[in-house]
Structure 1
Amino acid sequence: MLPKLKNHPFAVQAFFKSSTVLTFAVPKEQLQDLIPECLALDTFKDKWAFVAVAMVQTTGLRPKGFPKFMGNDFFLIGYRIFVRYTNKKGKNLRGLYIIKSETDKKKMAFIGNVFTHYNYTTTDVNLKTTKDKTEISSKHSNFNISLNNLEKEAKLPLNSPFENWKEARRFAGPLPFTFTYNEETKEVLIIQGVRQNWTPKSIKIEDYSIGFLNTLNLKNHVLANAFVIENIPYQWKKGEIELWK
């Protein structure tokens, strides 16, 4: 019964107070081995693949339809690769493959590991905001990001592969689907996200150090875009399973 519970067995809703996302462009060959056989990398100019780090202040996470007071508030740090999947109907779906999930609440890690395959771990998360900057850090995860609050119309990061924000916007998320794969049973779990008023605002990153990315030993990767969204209702539909091949 427990394995079935991990397949996102019911719809979930939450509210994102803030979601700050840094997306890194990586030569596609370096990410290929990190995704399962059923997925393909979502690439740009057939050269770059992308891994995103999302830092999300979440409130009221609960099964859809449950009262708000039953929800959970937590901070999430998620590491995701941009991918594509062709389903049984031949439709090409854009989405995310999660390679690591961290949260500041033990309760959330427990619940997340019961009902998902995302392998949550707990960590410390510190958020400091002043007029000039916002800093998100974690000593345990060797994680620190500093962003400029004064620059209202931030330009794309230096060395970004994108020439303009219109190009970058395609990789600013959230992509509609998240995928999990069971290699033994060849089953693909597809979870669709539903959001409202998703209007990302470009931000300037002053400095960053991300311990988990360092463990991937990526080379020649660059910060491709960075953005923040605020005050967004979000839902995940019940997971759907189909056999691959």
Structure 2
Amino acid sequence: MPKHKPIKFEALDQGVVKQINKIISENKTAKSILNATLAIMATGGIITLGALAPGLLTEINKISRRKRRRGMEKYREIWKNFNLLKKKGDLEFIKEKDDCLFYRFSEKGKGKVRKFIIDELKISAPKEWDNKWRLIIFDIPEKKRSGRVAFRKKLNDMGFYQCQKSAWIHPFPCLYEIEFIKDVFNLKPFVKIFLVDEMTDGKTLYHFRNLLKQVSTK
């Protein structure tokens, strides 16, 4: 494989980085080659053989030729995706410094990263439930109808229960996830999150009965 200069990426904001790291660690479907490439770029990683797979250069002679070939194929695919994203205008060249090429996401590319996060976003079950409920209430104007539809769909995808037309509920912590979705769809003024100490609605309790069996309570 031809030699190349390392590619260094300007990290996105810490909220995005935190969520990407969480998604990659928890969700196997997020570990595709393309999504792995996006994660490396968004978190300020470096595309080099060693950086992509720490210790690989040391261990490479210990593995079979077949496994070694698969590793190199993955490496080539990541470079292929980098070049594809660059060609599509998702990445912008910043500068060359210390024998390293620096890139950052364009506004178009940032949108692609946000879509990646939204698609993979989910509510994680805590080790111990605090016995509180998260109530999401929104009043989104008609001029933001597309955002309203997307917001409802994502709430449903994440397992929220629709207790009223514009009221959804979930037992597990989800503040960051909701705030992130509000920001992506530009809905911050229209969505409120409430913490409910007690749930008396039988339909809601029945809906989450199996989910709550999976966690211990305080």
Question: TM-score, normalising length from structure 2?
Answer: 0.25
Name which structure has the greater RCO, CA cutoff 8 Å, separation 6+.
1
Q: Highest CA radius of gyration, 1 or 2?
A: 2
Greater fraction of residues in strand: 1
Greater fraction of residues in helix: 2
